[in-house]
Amino acid sequence: QVRLVESGGGSVPDGGSLRLSCAASGFAVNRYSMAWFRQAPGKDREGVAIMRSIKGSTLYANFVQGRFTISRSPDDNELYLQMNSLKPEDTAMYYCAATPRDWVETISESDYIYWGQGTQVTVSS
């Protein structure tokens, strides 16, 4: 049974950092393509970053602008999102997602079939 559990969210000031973790079970993180999405109150869910199964290649949303890094640990079977230089507009619920596809072209919700429950990130000005 596939399960994704996010952790690491919290409240930080403008310019702060957080590291989100997504613990996976039921599959190996390096054999699935995985992603981080976020949803702010009153807004649609949007893609943040993806890590494809093939060679761990990555793709980031334009708004990331070099501030976030997605990574994975096959040993721990976890996906991570290191977030630096956080801004108030980064405030959202952050979700981990996974698909058995080894390649996804873009950061699209429709590509993912497994989702975690989310972890809240709040950035204060």
The pLDDT of residue 37 is 98
* Cα-based angle 118, 41, 97 (whole degrees, multiple of 5): 30
Question: At 54, is the secondary structure helix, strand, or coil?
Answer: helix
Return the pLDDT at 8: 98
The pLDDT assigned to 73 comes to 97
The two three-digit tokens of residue 109, written as one number: 């919700």
Question: Given this model, what pLDDT does residue 68 score?
Answer: 98
* Residues of the chain where predicted confidence (pLDDT) is lower than 70: none
- Looking up tokens 């039921």 gives 26
Q: What is the pLDDT of residue 1?
A: 94
Q: What is the pLDDT of residue 112?
A: 97
| DSSP-based three-state secondary structure for 62 | helix
- Would you state the pLDDT for residue 62? 97
